[in-house]
Amino acid sequence: ETRFEKIHNVIFNDSKVASIVIAEEIASLIQAKAEKNEMCVLGLATGSSPIKVYEELVRMHKEEGLSFSNVITFNLDEYFPMEKENIQSYYYFMHQHLFDHVDIDPKHINIPNGMVASKDLNAYCQAYDDKILSSGGLDFQLLGIGRTGHIGFNEPGSHINSGTRSITLDHITRVDAGPAFQGIENVPRKAITMGIGTIKKAKRIVLLAWGQNKAEIVKKAIEGDILSHIPATYLQEHSNTTFVLDNEAATNL
Ligand code: GLP
């Protein structure tokens, strides 16, 4: 088996249709677990890429009765330092796009705390990974990809077995986040992120990438050598990962 058989990529004409297909996969998983009286553990991502997936899940909740009562979520990352109330926080993003509109138990929502005291950071990150494991592990992990090839905030140089930890953001990542913060000088220099090792333990991984802007990094992630320089290439070693792309993001494949 070559590594190329491992990352499957699926190309859609339209990111809206692709997002609906992914939301349906997530909904089926939630319902299959519910039928067995089991919790469904979802790893969730922020950024523009997953927004339409969340929109569709909210629609399915409102119009089709999809329940999140058996769902536990773990978000990938959060800026550091970052207050929950800040509209640039990933905490705010997740509540705005998903959690405020569905019947998830707030106790089942896990998002890295961007205000944890620096001296407690290591223990906090270890506990985050431990909690994922004790919840049964990630059944499904949704990912976007940054132009540096980061997944979560695992920037170039991340170790394949890394756990949840604090990291320093790459310059390109801060440039890309600049507009949301009214200027790069306001973008935090650090973040807390699930590690590559944490992500790779997920039973199923779906990475979303839309638009021409992602074409170059998508090609490297899928076809390039597995290198710490491009952390998304580590996904080639995961046996159940799909890259879901629109035509523009797939241009170079
Ligand atoms: C941020 C997030 C990543 C996300 C990336 C791409 O850096 N930490 O998890 O994948 O942005 O964002 P977008 O989906 O907006 O292109």
User: What residues contact 68, with CB distance under 8 A and at least 6 apart?
Assistant: 30, 61, 102, 103, 104
Q: What CATH number has the domain bearing residue 211?
A: 3.40.50.1360
Give the three-state DSSP class for 143.
Answer: strand
Q: Report CA-CA distances (Å) from 87 to 84, 169, 222.
A: 8, 19, 33
Q: How many domains does the chain have?
A: 1
Q: Whose CA is nearest to atom 5 of ligand 1?
A: 146
Residue 8 has what pLDDT? 87
Bridge partners of residue 206, in order along the sequence = 142, 242
23 belongs to a structural domain: yes
**Could you tell me the sign of the dihedral formed by the alpha carbons of 175, 179, 184, 186, in that order?**
negative
Radius of gyration of the chain (CA): 17
Shortest-distance atom of ligand 1 to CA 152: 9
194 belongs to a structural domain: yes
252 belongs to a structural domain: no
81 belongs to a structural domain: yes
Q: pLDDT of 29-43, one tens digit each?
A: 999 999 999 999 999
Determine the distance separating the centroid of ligand 1 and the alpha carbon of 75, expressed in angstroms.
12
253 belongs to a structural domain: no
Domain hosting 118: range is 3-246
**Would you list the DSSP string of 146-207?**
-TTS-BTTB-TT--TT--SEEEEPPHHHHHHHGGGGTSGGGS-SEEEE--HHHHHTSS-EEE
Q: Which of 5, 64, 85, 155 is catalytic?
A: 155
Query: pLDDT band for position 7 (50/70/90)?
Result: confident
- SS3 string, 190-225, reads EEEECCHHHHHCCCCEEEEECCHHHHHHHHHHHHCC
Determine the distance separating the centroid of ligand 1 and the alpha carbon of 226, expressed in angstroms.
21
17 belongs to a structural domain: yes
Q: pLDDT of 89-117, one tens digit each?
A: 999 999 999 999 999 999 999 999 999 99
Known catalytic membership, residue 85? no
251 belongs to a structural domain: no
Taking the C-alpha atoms of residue 90 and residue 45, their distance in angstroms, rounded to an integer, is: 9
| H helix or E strand, kind and range, residue 74 | strand 71-75
Tell me how crowded residue 182 is: count the other CB atoms within 10 A of its CB. Answer: 10
Give the three-state DSSP class for 26.
Answer: helix
Determine the distance separating the centroid of ligand 1 and the alpha carbon of 201, expressed in angstroms.
20
Give the three-state DSSP class for 132.
Answer: helix
First to last CA, the chain: 20
Q: How does DSSP classify residue 65?
A: -
Q: For the chain, what is the mean pLDDT?
A: 96
ipTM of the complex: 0.94
Which residues have CB under 6 Å of ligand 1?
A: 45-49, 76-77, 144-146, 152-153, 173
200 belongs to a structural domain: yes
As a whole number, mean pLDDT of residues 191-215 equals: 98
Query: pLDDT band for position 3 (50/70/90)?
Result: very low
